[in-house]
């Protein structure tokens, strides 16, 4: 077969790829002025990665990144990530994005890294507003009280200012991810979100006002996405009652999950098997697509190990985040097996856009990362490429 025909077939295959794979991106691996005030000059969360220790027998810590302790606010370093994502079946980064009453936090990875990377046209990006309370857990000492640094609840005035900023700064970027002409915008914590407005009805008005701004700016609409969970992870999280009815009443267009353990308890301490969590998650997903009237974008999770965020000199006990069970057995092979299950689920249960979120591109201190490490190399990314194929570009 000629090379021309092969090339055409390859292009056709990529155009017909029916999946969109979007990886969450946690941007705490660069120097941020707020962090420096708390942790000292030059600090980033790489310090917790470097200092992590094994907390039980056969526990693999510390994890060493294959690319080194890179600065994600450097557009050259970010370009390396974009290239790796693009060539291994990742279509978009969903940045965990922080905005409080006094402004942004951890924005340099996106604004100085991704948005200035020369190859950012290879990958889409979107925002998940990480509107949870930010506590000092980097690391957390179980012998001390938790310190609140930045409350997730903002004022209505901040919401109005923030949504103007989002439309102007991000939605207008040529690489911003749109679904059927609507920019994707996800909200992590529904409880904190509703607290801004005081009622569900007024929260709906706040969402509708955001949509109207986007339309006036020339967009068809916003794909408002809700992150839904049935279990809490972070200490200040609260589970909403009847989330299916709530997201419908608020007018969300879609819903998704951030991580499997928002739906599945880690019942064995210190270690719970990855395969068992995967099995239970897909049981949840089967029920979710039946219960909700809006599309579900199911979630793949690579692993879980929050122990690097514990004070390493303390006893490792089952005390709640980050002193909690670790997922074990999340080998590249086990991850690929779950990806195959996800593909079957998407083919059989998702009738619209087959969008899959992945936790996470780089949650190094929560043990869920696709970036290569010195033990497994690119194996997790290769698993995504092998199962879901290359990207559409």
Lowest mean pLDDT segment, chosen from 124-128, 174-178, 207-211, 388-392: 388-392
Per-residue pLDDT at 5:
35
Query: Is residue 393 a part of any domain in this protein?
Result: no
What average pLDDT does the segment 176-191 reach?
97
Within a domain: 256: yes
* pLDDT the model gives residue 391: 74
10 belongs to a structural domain: no
Structural domain contains residue 1: no
**In this predicted model, what pLDDT tens digit does every residue of 36-63 receive, in sequence order?**
999 999 999 999 999 999 999 999 999 9
Mean pLDDT along residues 292-308: 98
Average confidence (pLDDT) over 133-157: 96
Give the CATH number of the domain where residue 252 resides. Answer: 3.20.20.80
The answer to whether residue 7 is domain-embedded is no
- Percent of the chain at pLDDT > 70 equals 95
150 burial via Cβ count (<10 Å: 0-12, 13-18, 19+): middle
Average pLDDT over all residues of the chain: 94
Q: Are 97 and 130 in contact (CB under 8 A)?
A: yes
pLDDT of residue 234: 86
Closest of 365, 362, 308, 304 to residue 113, by C-alpha:
362
pLDDT of 224 higher than 80: yes
Distance CA 350, CA 264 (A): 21
Structural domain of residue 210, as residue ranges?
Answer: 18-388
Does 13 fall in a domain?
no
- pLDDT tens digits, one per residue of 237-288: 888 889 999 999 999 999 999 999 999 999 999 999 999 999 999 999 999 9
Q: How far apart are CA 243 and CA 227, in angstroms?
A: 10
Would you place residue 13 in the very low, low, confident or very high pLDDT band (cuts 50, 70, 90)?
Answer: very low
* Count of structural domains within the chain: 1
Phi/psi-derived region of residue 259, left when phi > 0, alpha when psi is between -120 and 50, beta in every other case: beta
Tell me if 4 is assigned to some domain. Answer: no
Using the CB atoms, write b or e for 83-100: b if 16+ within 10 Å. ebbbebbbbbbbbbbbbb
Q: What is the DSSP string of 35-101?
A: HHHHH-TT--THHHHHH----STT---S--BTT-S--TTSHHHHHHHHHHHHTTT--EEEEEEEEET
Report yes or no on 25 lying in a domain.
Answer: yes
Q: How confident is the model at residue 230 (pLDDT cuts 50, 70, 90)?
A: confident
pLDDT at residue number 393: 57
pLDDT at 392 (0 to 100):
63
Q: Is the pLDDT of residue 15 over 60?
A: no
Measured CA to CA, the distance from residue 82 to residue 80 in angstroms comes to 5
State both tokens at 282.
């897909």
Do 45 and 138 touch, CB atoms closer than 8 A? yes
- Torsion, Cα of 103, 109, 111, 114 (10° steps): -150
**pLDDT at residue 17, rounded to an integer:** 85
pLDDT tops 50 at residue 149:
yes
């Amino acid at each position: 077969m000629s090379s021309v025909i092969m090339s055409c077939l390859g292009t056709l295959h990529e155009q017909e790829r029916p999946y969109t794979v979007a990886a969450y991106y946690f941007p705490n691996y660069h120097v941020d002025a707020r962090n420096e005030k708390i942790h000292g000059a030059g600090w980033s969360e790489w310090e917790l990665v470097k200092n992590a220790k094994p907390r039980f027998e056969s526990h693999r810590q510390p994890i060493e990144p294959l690319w080194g302790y890179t600065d994600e606010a450097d557009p050259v370093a970010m370009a390396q990530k974009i290239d790796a994502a693009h060539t291994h079946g990742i279509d978009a980064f969903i940045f965990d994005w922080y905005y409080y009453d006094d402004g942004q936090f951890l924005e340099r990875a996106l604004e100085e890294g991704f948005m200035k990377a020369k190859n950012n046209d290879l990958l889409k990006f979107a925002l998940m507003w990480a509107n949870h309370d930010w506590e000092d857990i980097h690391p957390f000492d179980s012998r001390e009280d938790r310190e609140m640094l930045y409350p997730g609840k903002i004022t209505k005035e901040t919401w109005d200012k923030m949504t103007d900023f989002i439309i102007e700064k991000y939605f207008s970027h040529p690489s911003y991810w749109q679904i059927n002409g609507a920019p994707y915008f996800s909200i992590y914590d529904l409880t904190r979100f509703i607290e801004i407005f005081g009622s569900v009805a007024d929260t709906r008005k706040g969402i509708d006002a955001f949509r109207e701004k986007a339309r006036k700016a020339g967009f068809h609409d916003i794909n408002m996405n809700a992150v839904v969970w049935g279990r809490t992870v972070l200490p200040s999280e609260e589970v909403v009652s009847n989330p299916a009815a709530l997201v419908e009443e608020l007018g969300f267009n879609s819903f998704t999950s951030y991580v499997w353990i928002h739906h599945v308890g880690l019942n064995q301490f210190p270690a719970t098997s990855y395969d068992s969590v995967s099995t239970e998650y897909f049981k949840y997903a089967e029920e979710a697509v039946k219960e909700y009237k809006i599309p579900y974008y199911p979630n793949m999770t690579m692993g879980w190990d929050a122990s690097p965020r514990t004070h390493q000199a303390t006893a490792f006990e089952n005390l709640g985040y980050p002193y909690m069970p670790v997922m074990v057995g999340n080998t590249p092979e086990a991850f690929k097996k779950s990806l195959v299950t996800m593909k079957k689920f998407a083919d059989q249960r998702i009738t619209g856009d087959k969008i899959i979120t992945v936790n996470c591109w780089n949650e190094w201190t929560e043990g869920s990362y696709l970036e290569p490490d010195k033990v497994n190399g690119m194996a997790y990314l290769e698993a995504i490429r092998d199962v879901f194929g290359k990207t559409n570009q």
